[in-house]
Amino acid sequence: DYNKPILGLFNKSHIDYYIDRLNDKKLESQPSLALMSAIALKKLQMAKKGFVLQIEAGRIDHVNHTNDAFGALMETAELDQVLDVVDDYISKNPKTLVIVTSDHGTGGFGVYGTGPDYNDSTIIYTMPMTLCALGAVLAKCIYPLSKDRDQEVIS
């Protein structure tokens, strides 16, 4: 019943990573971000004066703390599913404003050290992460207002 308040508690702490939820049957009770987004949109569209909904794929930040590239890609893939849900909503509600942003860079993907054994960590080469973590998703969702270093990475 969408007329009643909703509270979803699906884990003792954070929802597990998307890749883990895909591969562990014990985690099937945790809903996808796309499903939670669809339910939130269905509930909120009943608001007479409009609404603001913030959907955060927050596990992207967490998986980047460990520089887990595959985990970051999978979390981004889950966010892409959310964008499909939101895009479907927009097609039926064209006066909708959507803002998509990336999270801060968390460590960056990098190659540490310069020697053959990578013991010399005085020089750290990292890639800018402002948009890189979500580049493929964001590239189809935004119009750049100015050309900057991050846009060059996406292009």
- Annotated binding site: which residue ranges? 56, 61, 65, 103-104
From CA 112, how far away is CA 92, in angstroms rounded? 48
Annotated binding site for Zn(2+): 61, 65, 103-104
User: ∠ CA 34-38-40 to the nearest 5 degrees?
Assistant: 115
List binding-site positions for Mg(2+). 56
Token code pair at residue 155: 């292009």
Alpha helices in 27-92 (DSSP H): 33-44, 59-65, 69-92
Which residue, among 85, 78, 80, 104, has the nearest Cα to 45 in the 3D structure?
85
Tell me which residue has tokens 């960056």.
Answer: 108
Residue 35, CB half-sphere, CA atoms under 13 Å: how many?
A: 8
